[in-house]
């Protein structure tokens, strides 16, 4: 086999701009983690997975890193410890225990039929994690003696990594002359019913792609926009019960992470995501579903405008470059970043819906993959997050929630889909249902 002339990062590695916020804000109810996984019809062997993980780190040496707390900033440095393959537990996307993982910022998990990759957000975003998972599965299949498997649009094991893979595009795109993106008002946050704890309870809704595509097309929406509309509509109905006085109803907004790789044409494996904020103003009156659909469609189109994105990048990067922030000790910076993450993040939206898009499977694996999943850790303010992934002819919408018993949002969402003529199949890790 051809040896790869690889380069390994050395010494001090700075976090990328959007990763800066994750280590200081990391807490029990704000894990800043996500998980991508694939279920197969064959059994998973730990020893083979360890070999595959070794290969993954050999190809992507920039992921062989650990997180440190510096005097001024958190930073990354090469990690010489052996990576660990973990057995999967009952709850995904919990708080990341770095020590139990030998300091790595991602975790490979397995169960009888599943390979999962859980990431701390400071390493990469959803698309980056999916690229890692694809390479891991390719290497697993290789070591398991299966026919050669190659995912489209993934990392090539035999090609030397390009320097761009571990570059921070935000720094390239920063333009001092552009005005900063304005902050927006506080959004509605559900109070929810009953207790909550830090275990992530999942309700997984599996939907046939052709059915949802048909419904979305009728309204000239993409699947992501349709799901965002259903989410907003469900939140509006919950707000209607919680806040009877129309004037007191705060705006309902969703944070929709956008993959900037396609928009700006970068192939980085680090975080390269910004958030589109789409929403409605229920203080003006009740929005019918089609009205929300129109709003979402327009706002998504606006949010994807390069000019607006560059303005957001200017705001984020100029914060990092501000000398007062740059030379403040980490101990002072941490509380400030926590406040910033609330003011510029969680406060401004009522929920998160992240769509990883369609995962194209290689023909050899189409009959072997049983399901794909994507999970995003919820936060303390928005205790439910939605993560969407598509594969073969299905779409999986995972509701990740801290609520122990409250499933009203999930129910409103799924029953709307059923009433709209879409068949929904439900599975869960909640204990009292089986």
Tell me which residues touch other proteins (CB under 8 A). 25, 27-30, 87-92, 94-95, 111-113, 197-199, 202-205, 329, 331-332, 334-335, 338-339, 342, 379-380, 407, 410-411, 414-415, 418-419, 423-430, 432-434
CB of 382 to other proteins, least distance (A): 12
For other proteins, the closer of residues 150 and 197 by Cβ is 197
CB of 119 to other proteins, least distance (A): 18
CB of 379 to other proteins, least distance (A): 8
CB of 204 to other proteins, least distance (A): 6
CB of 351 to other proteins, least distance (A): 17
For other proteins, the closer of residues 9 and 94 by Cβ is 94
For other proteins, the closer of residues 201 and 314 by Cβ is 201
For other proteins, the closer of residues 202 and 216 by Cβ is 202
For other proteins, the closer of residues 241 and 419 by Cβ is 419
For other proteins, the closer of residues 32 and 350 by Cβ is 32
CB of 23 to other proteins, least distance (A): 12
HEC states along the chain?
A: CCCCCCCCCCCCEECCHHHCCHHHHCECCECCEEEEEEEECCCCCHHHHHHHHHHHHHHCHHHCEEEEECCCCEEEEECCCCCCEEECCCCCCCCCCCHHHCCECEEEEECCCEEEEEEECCCCCHHHHHHHHHHHHHHHHHHCCCCCCCCCCCCCCCCCCCHHHHCCHHHHHCCCCCCCCCCCCCCCCCCCCCCEEEEEEEEEEEEEHHHHHHHHHHCCCCHHHHHHHHHHHHHHHHHHHHCCCHHHCCCEEEEEEEEHHHHHCCCCCCCCEEEEEEEECHHHCCCCHHHHHHHHHHHHHHHCCHHHHHHHHHHHHHHHHCHHHHCCCHHHHHHHHHHHHHHCCHHHCCEEEEEEEEECCCHHHHCCEEEEEEEECCCCCCCEEEEEEEECCEEEEEEEEEECCCCHHHHHHHHHHHHCCCCEEEEECCHHHC
For other proteins, the closer of residues 91 and 289 by Cβ is 91
CB of 416 to other proteins, least distance (A): 10
CB of 398 to other proteins, least distance (A): 9
Cα–Cα distance for residue pair 403/198, rounded to 1 Å: 9
For other proteins, the closer of residues 40 and 188 by Cβ is 40
């Amino acid at each position: 086999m051809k040896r790869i002339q690889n380069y390994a990062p050395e010494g001090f590695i700075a976090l990328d701009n959007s990763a800066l916020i994750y280590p200081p804000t990391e807490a029990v109810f704000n894990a800043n983690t996500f998980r991508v996984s694939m279920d197969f019809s064959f059994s998973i062997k730990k020893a083979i997975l360890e070999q595959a993980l070794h290969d993954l780190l050999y190809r992507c040496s920039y992921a062989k890193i650990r997180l440190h707390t510096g005097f001024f900033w958190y930073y990354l440095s090469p990690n010489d410890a052996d990576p660990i393959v973990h057995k999967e537990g009952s709850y995904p996307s919990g708080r990341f225990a770095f020590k139990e993982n030998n300091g790595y910022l991602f975790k490979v998990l397995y169960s009888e039929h599943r390979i999962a990759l859980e990431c701390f957000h400071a390493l990469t975003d959803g698309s980056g994690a999916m690229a890692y998972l694809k390479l891991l599965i390719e290497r697993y299949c290789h070591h398991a003696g299966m026919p050669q498997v190659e995912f489209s649009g993934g990392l090539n094991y035999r090609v030397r990594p390009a320097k761009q893979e571990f570059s921070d595009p935000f720094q390239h795109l920063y333009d001092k002359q552009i005005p900063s993106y304005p902050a927006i008002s506080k959004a509605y946050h559900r109070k929810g019913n009953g207790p909550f704890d830090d275990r992530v309870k999942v309700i997984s809704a599996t939907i046939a792609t052709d059915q949802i595509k048909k419904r979305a097309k009728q309204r000239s929406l993409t699947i992501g926009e349709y799901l965002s509309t259903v989410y907003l509509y469900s939140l509006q109905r919950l707000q209607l019960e919680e806040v009877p006085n129309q004037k007191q109803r705060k705006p309902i907004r969703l944070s929709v992470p956008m993959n900037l790789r396609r928009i700006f044409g970068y192939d980085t494996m680090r975080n390269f995501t910004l958030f589109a904020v789409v929403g409605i103003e229920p203080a003006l009156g009740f929005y019918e579903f089609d009205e929300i659909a129109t709003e979402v469609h327009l706002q998504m189109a606006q949010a994807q405008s390069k000019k607006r994105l560059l303005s957001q990048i200017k705001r984020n990067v100029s914060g990092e470059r501000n000398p007062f922030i740059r030379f403040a000790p980490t101990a002072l910076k941490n509380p400030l970043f926590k406040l910033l993450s609330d003011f510029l993040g969680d406060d401004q939206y009522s929920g998160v819906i992240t769509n990883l898009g369609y995962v194209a499977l290689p023909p050899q694996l189409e009959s072997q993959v049983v399901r794909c999943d994507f999970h995003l850790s919820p936060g303390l303010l928005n205790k439910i997050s939605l993560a969407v992934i598509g594969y073969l002819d299905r779409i999986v919408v995972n509701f990740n929630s801290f609520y122990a018993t409250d499933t009203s949002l999930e129910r409103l969402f799924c029953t709307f889909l059923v009433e709209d003529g879409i068949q929904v199949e439900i599975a869960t890790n909640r204990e009292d249902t089986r």
